[in-house]
Amino acid sequence: MLSSKEISKRKFTCIYPKAFLRPKQHDKLLVCKLHKSLYGLKQASKAWNTKFTTTLLMGGFQQSPSDHYFFFKKDRANIVILLIYVDDLVITGSDASLIQATKDLLHSHFKLKDLGALRYFLGFEFVRSSKGISLCQRKYALELIATSGLAAAKPALIPLDPNLKFTTVEYDHNFPGQEDPALSDPSVYQKLIGKLLYLCLIRPDLSFSVNLLSQFMHQPKQSHLNVALKVVRYIKSSPGLGLFFPAHGFIQLQAFCDSDWASCLMTRKSITGFCIFFLGGSLLSWKSKTQVTVSRSSSEVEYRAMASIVCEIVWLTQLLTNLAFPIQLPISLCCDNQSAIHIASNRMFHERMKHIDIDYHIVRSKLKEGLIHPTHEQPVYGPLHRYLLSKLGVIDIHHPPT
């Protein structure tokens, strides 16, 4: 608490509307109106978001129900889009006058600094050309390599050996007879995985490896740290790898899903993996995540993967509709398991799949609505890791292929 003398000496620079302070020498409450937000206050972020949202809504913007940090405003055939991350903003649109009007609206209510064309944002690097937009985290990747002490290490060709098995017991399952002690300081491993998770935002080639390693954050072993460092050495081989979004191409969503069965030696849970392509084959969304329950068959595993990607497709179609992109329905959903496709298409399978009733209904309902069209076709990929990256639309503009 502050006394009345202390209050008169201090300069308050907070946007939070009211702060109640009880002086020592008086019984009455003093109300202090604050005018500018201070970092660190629990209420500051909520007050700032409320103020910013109210200003945009009064200015004719709409808040997307799919993502509350995404605002858009349509004017006939033109659109202006605004993305917010705390107090950092990205503005784009199809008309320069609408973009300038948005800047004027924000300048009239807030103090802003216009940084010009988008080149660097939250660790992401943007490179634009007539062919399209390239997105990477090269600077962040180089800093990660340096802080890990692997600047002079030999680069790795792949992030993870697919034959490795991970457990929490203190012996090496991959090399019987060898001890595998727990780390004395788990924070080293935890910090490294946290940095790798942020790099996964635009590196689909790291998703599976980092997802697997993140399951041992509480009890990491030396073998886990060694594999994590190998992932960093793999990043060193191509720190500039990133996504490429072409300027021209067909506008159509295409989804692929797959999963393994009972791959975890400790829980026998399976891993779901999916990717969704859009606009000329550019990768739009992907995920590698352990399923929450143990599945009793490979068909059930694949069907749960289909349920996960259907939810993602529903969210993406809502978001792209707000962006005024025409979506051609039905969306092709490729799965390599015939039984899972039959479960979605044939209601006679329902009796055998009562234990996944919720997943059954979400896929079945979207199939009946015409949103998706399951098919057994899967892309034929080659054995090389680099070839797989090219199929995912991941390129390195700093070292283009010859």
User: What is the structure's pLDDT at 38?
Assistant: 60
**Residues, the chain, total?**
402
Parts of the chain belonging to CATH 3.30.310: 44-116
C-alpha closest to that of 85 among 106, 100, 71, 96: 71
Residue 7 pLDDT greater than 60, yes or no: no
User: What is the structure's pLDDT at 50?
Assistant: 86
Tell me if 56 sits within 8 A of 69, measured CB to CB: no
Helices 357-369 and 338-345, interaxial angle, to 10°? 70
**Domain covering 249-375 in this structure, CATH number:** 3.30.420.10
Top mean pLDDT of 3-17, 79-93, 282-296 is at: 79-93
Residue 349 pLDDT greater than 60, yes or no: no
Percent of the chain having pLDDT more than 70? 78
Band (pLDDT 50/70/90 cuts) for residue 47 is confident
Q: Is 107 exposed, middle or buried (0-12, 13-18, 19+ CB in 10 A)?
A: exposed
User: What is the structure's pLDDT at 6?
Assistant: 44
User: What is the structure's pLDDT at 19?
Assistant: 42
Parts of the chain belonging to CATH 3.30.420.10: 249-375
- Which position has the higher pLDDT, 81 or 396? 81
Over residues 331-355, the mean pLDDT reads 71
According to DSSP, the residues that pair with 254 across neighbouring strands are 277, 332
- Which position has the higher pLDDT, 24 or 363? 363
Residue 4 pLDDT greater than 60, yes or no: no
What is the distance in angstroms between the CA of the first residue and the CA of the last residue of the chain? 68
Over residues 109-116, the mean pLDDT reads 86
Residue 3 pLDDT greater than 60, yes or no: no
Tell me if 194 sits within 8 A of 140, measured CB to CB: no
Q: Is 23 exposed, middle or buried (0-12, 13-18, 19+ CB in 10 A)?
A: middle
**Domain covering 44-116 in this structure, CATH number:** 3.30.310
pLDDT averaged over the chain? 79
Tell me if 395 sits within 8 A of 136, measured CB to CB: no
pLDDT, tens digit, 9 for 90 and up, residues 197-238: 999 888 888 988 898 898 888 888 888 899 999 999 999 988
Q: Which residue has the tokens 């070839």?
A: 387
pTM over 0.85: no
User: What is the structure's pLDDT at 94?
Assistant: 87
Structure tokens at 66: 């799919």
Over residues 297-323, the mean pLDDT reads 86
Residue 293 pLDDT greater than 90, yes or no: no
Tell me if 164 sits within 8 A of 264, measured CB to CB: no
User: What is the structure's pLDDT at 12?
Assistant: 41
